[in-house]
Amino acid sequence: MGKIIVNGGNQLSGEVYINGAKNAVLPILAATVIGNNESTIFNVPDLRDVEVMEKILLSLGCDVKRIDKMMWVDSKPLNSIRIPDELVREMRSSIILMGAMLSRCGEVIISYPGGCEIGPRPIDMHLKALREMGAEIEESHGFLYCRTNGLKGCEIQLDYPSVGATENIMLAAVKAKGITVIRNAAREPEIIDLQSYLNKAGAKVNGAGTSIVIIEGVDELVDVTHNTMPDRIVAGTYMAASAITQGEIVVKNIIIDHLQAISAKLREAGCLIYNDSNSLKIIGPKRINSIEMIQTLPYPGFPTDMQAQIMALLSIANGTSIISETVFENRFKHAEELTRMGANIKIFGKVAVIKGVKELTGAKTTAKDLRGGACLVLAGLVAKGTTEIENVYHINRGYEDFHITLKELGADIKMIE
């Protein structure tokens, strides 16, 4: 299962280059099955979740080639409608293949993606919207049997700006008859990247990044080349690493606009952040300032995917901070692990009260989910003594060579397989 061992106390410094965004490339890879076309995607990160999506595409009969950070997908030979059960269980976001497969084949069989470490992860909004578009979806024995005689465009009002539901509907609407309007759509930058890929493939999508996305159905898609946007959460994580170690790090290949909410909170915590065109320098303070209130919100609010990382920071702040996790039901599992390191954190439902302590102490800890694992590594960077983080496979789902990059920045860190 692998574990990371880190000896705290080193200040990080140097440069880190941010690779393609996991949460942009996954829906784009799902979208490659919609047309009978070839997709060449650059800046694809080398992550476990991307490997899983690649295996799914291969299992559907697509040709896939991977050369370094480039992935080529030819979906012409696609010959299956069943998404492998074990792969869906490993990566629940494969549910966005529903829309793409209904677009392409009019049929898909996919196992019901269970919950995960951060909550039950329901898909009711996905199913409701796809049914409104003309899909018949039967749920039985843990599987979803979906078929359609032809999807039709329609007006869809999302109860919540769900990222996955917005993406699933976009992919279902690409070749639907007529126009689909998604209201209360998620506004995350990854959805803009998906729109960019789709339009280069000949789709007609507008409005991504706003709460109204409009898709006019087309008959076919053409070959497309796309360069994946940089990962704003990976960037934010390295920013937090600089902040927590009184470091000085230059983060390169970023889109400043995507990091506004993260930068604002890190400045509140006492960091100095100097933006350049596609990079920034962040200098951590001698002592982290507490932050009165952080609420995780859909974009452009503070991202839930940075909640665990900022909690590590606030656990050594000079006062009491409050984090309200409004997006997911159960995303505080890292708090109990931080407490093992001496943090003073109390959880009241979806609110965490973090009373900053002077110093954390190294301990044996366990990563419970992707961002929670990153949080524990950040805490280990500053804790007195040695911290072990078990189950680092969680971290490998969303971070490329996390410990290697941190070591290059000056951390005393290693991975034991």
What amino acid positions are annotated as catalytic residues?
Answer: 116
Alpha helices in 142-231 (DSSP H): 163-173, 189-200
Site membership for ligand EPZ, residue 160 (CB under 6 A): yes
**β-bridge mates for residue 210, sequence order:** 208
Comparing CA positions, the residue from 235, 195, 197 lying closest to residue 42 is 197
Q: Among residues 265 and 363, whose Cβ is nearest to ligand EPZ?
A: 265
Measured CA to CA, the distance from residue 71 to residue 64 in angstroms comes to 7
Q: Among residues 17 and 160, whose Cβ is nearest to ligand EPZ?
A: 160
Site membership for ligand EPZ, residue 23 (CB under 6 A): yes
Name the residue whose CB lies closest to ligand EPZ: 164
Measured CA to CA, the distance from residue 72 to residue 223 in angstroms comes to 11
Site membership for ligand EPZ, residue 162 (CB under 6 A): yes
Q: Can you say whether the dihedral through the CA atoms of 372, 376, 377, 381 is positive or negative? A: positive
End-to-end CA distance of the chain: 7
Quickly count: other Cβ atoms within 10 Å of residue 371's Cβ: 27
Site for ligand EPZ in 362-391 (CB under 6 A): 370-371
Site membership for ligand EPZ, residue 165 (CB under 6 A): yes
Comparing CA positions, the residue from 21, 350, 314 lying closest to residue 189 is 21
Q: How many residues bind ligand EPZ (CB under 6 A)?
A: 25
Quickly count: other Cβ atoms within 10 Å of residue 142's Cβ: 10
Q: Whole-number minimum distance, CB 167 to ligand EPZ, in Å?
A: 7
What binding mask, one character per residue, do residues 109-128 give for ligand EPZ by CB under 6 A, x or -? ----------x-xxxxxx--
Site for ligand EPZ in 181-210 (CB under 6 A): 186
What binding mask, one character per residue, do residues 25-54 give for ligand EPZ by CB under 6 A, x or -? -x----------------------------
Please state the length of the chain. 417
| H helix or E strand, kind and range, residue 297 | none
Site for ligand EPZ in 291-350 (CB under 6 A): 304-305, 327-329
Residues binding ligand EPZ (CB under 6 A): 22-23, 26, 93, 119, 121-126, 160, 162-165, 186, 304-305, 327-329, 370-371, 398
